[in-house]
Amino acid sequence: MKNSHLLFGVAAVAAVALGATSCADGPQIVSLGVDDTYVIPRMQTLRLAPALEGAAYRWLLLTPDGEWTVIGQSRDLAFVEIEEGEYQLKFEIVDADNPMTFTTTVIVVSEDIEYDPYISRVYEYRPAPGQFVNMIPLYEEGDTEADMIRKAGESICGADGSIISLGGFGGYVTFGFDHTVVNVAGQADFRIWGNAFADAADAVASSGGSAEPGVVMVSADTNGNGLPDDEWYELRGSEDGKPGFLRGYSITYRRPAPDHIATPSGSSIIDSTYILWTDNAGQSGYMPQTTFHRQSYYPEWIDAEELTFTATRLPSNATDVNGDGTLWRLRPFEYGYVDNYPNDDAARNSFDISDAVDAEGVPVSLPGIDFVRVYTSVNQCCGWIGETSTEIARACDLHLLPTP
Q: Which stretch binds Ca ion (CB under 5 A): 78-86, 207-215, 244-252, 276-284?
A: 207-215
Q: Which stretch binds Ca ion (CB under 5 A): 94-102, 185-193, 316-324, 357-365?
A: 185-193
Q: In terms of CB distance, is 256 or 367 closer to Ca ion?
A: 367
Q: In terms of CB distance, is 212 or 239 closer to Ca ion?
A: 212
| Angle in degrees, CA 102, 45, 71, rounded to 5 | 50
Q: In terms of CB distance, is 221 or 387 closer to Ca ion?
A: 221
**Secondary structure of the chain in the HEC alphabet?**
CCCHHHHHHHHHHHHHHCCCCCCCCCCCCCCCCCCCEEEEECCCCEEECCCCCCCEEEEEEECCCCCEEEEECCCCEEECCCCCEEEEEEEEEECCCCCEEEEEEEEEECCCCCCCCECCEEEEEECCCCCCCCCCCCCCCCCCHHHHHHHHHHHHCCCCCCCEECCCCCCEEEEEEEEEEECCCCCCCEEEECCCECCCCCCCCCCCCECCCEEEEEECCCCCCCCCCCCEEEECCCCCCCCCCEEEEEEEEECCCCCCCCCCECCCEEEEEEEEEEECCCCEEEEEEECCCCCCCCCCCCCCCEEEEEEEECCCCEEECCCCCCCEEECCCCCCCECCCCCCCCHHHEECHHHEECCCCCECCCCEEEEEEEEECCCCECHHHCECCCEECEEEECCCCCCC
397 is a contact residue toward Ca ion (CB under 5 A): no
Interface with Ca ion (CB under 5 A), residue from 391, 394, 398, 400? 391
Q: Which stretch binds Ca ion (CB under 5 A): 25-33, 64-72, 145-153, 187-195?
A: 187-195
CB of 282 to Ca ion, least distance (A): 29
Q: In terms of CB distance, is 32 or 119 closer to Ca ion?
A: 119
CB of 338 to Ca ion, least distance (A): 9
Interface with Ca ion (CB under 5 A), residue from 36, 81, 92, 221? 221
279 is a contact residue toward Ca ion (CB under 5 A): no
Position 117, amino acid: P
**Contact status, residue 177 vs residue 397, Cβ threshold 8 Å:** yes
| CA distances for 195 relative to 137, 338, 340, angstroms | 15, 9, 8
CB of 236 to Ca ion, least distance (A): 13
Q: In terms of CB distance, is 271 or 391 closer to Ca ion?
A: 391
**Secondary structure of 18-40 in the HEC alphabet?**
CCCCCCCCCCCCCCCCCCCEEEE
162 is a contact residue toward Ca ion (CB under 5 A): no
239 is a contact residue toward Ca ion (CB under 5 A): no
183 is a contact residue toward Ca ion (CB under 5 A): yes
Interface with Ca ion (CB under 5 A), residue from 36, 92, 189, 387? 189
- Number of residues binding to Ca ion, judged by CB under 5 A: 17
Interface with Ca ion (CB under 5 A), residue from 21, 206, 225, 403? 225
Q: Which stretch binds Ca ion (CB under 5 A): 94-102, 133-141, 181-189, 303-311?
A: 181-189
81 is a contact residue toward Ca ion (CB under 5 A): no
229 is a contact residue toward Ca ion (CB under 5 A): yes
Q: Which stretch binds Ca ion (CB under 5 A): 40-48, 301-309, 353-361, 380-388?
A: 353-361
339 is a contact residue toward Ca ion (CB under 5 A): yes
230 is a contact residue toward Ca ion (CB under 5 A): yes
Q: In terms of CB distance, is 53 or 229 closer to Ca ion?
A: 229
Q: Which stretch binds Ca ion (CB under 5 A): 7-15, 23-31, 57-65, 204-212?
A: 204-212
Q: Report the Cα–Cα distance between both ends of the chain, in Å, rounded.
A: 40
Interface with Ca ion (CB under 5 A), residue from 92, 352, 387, 397? 352
Q: In terms of CB distance, is 92 or 339 closer to Ca ion?
A: 339
Interacting residue ranges for Ca ion, rule: CB under 5 A: 183-184, 187, 189, 195, 212, 221, 223, 225, 227, 229-230, 339, 352-354, 391
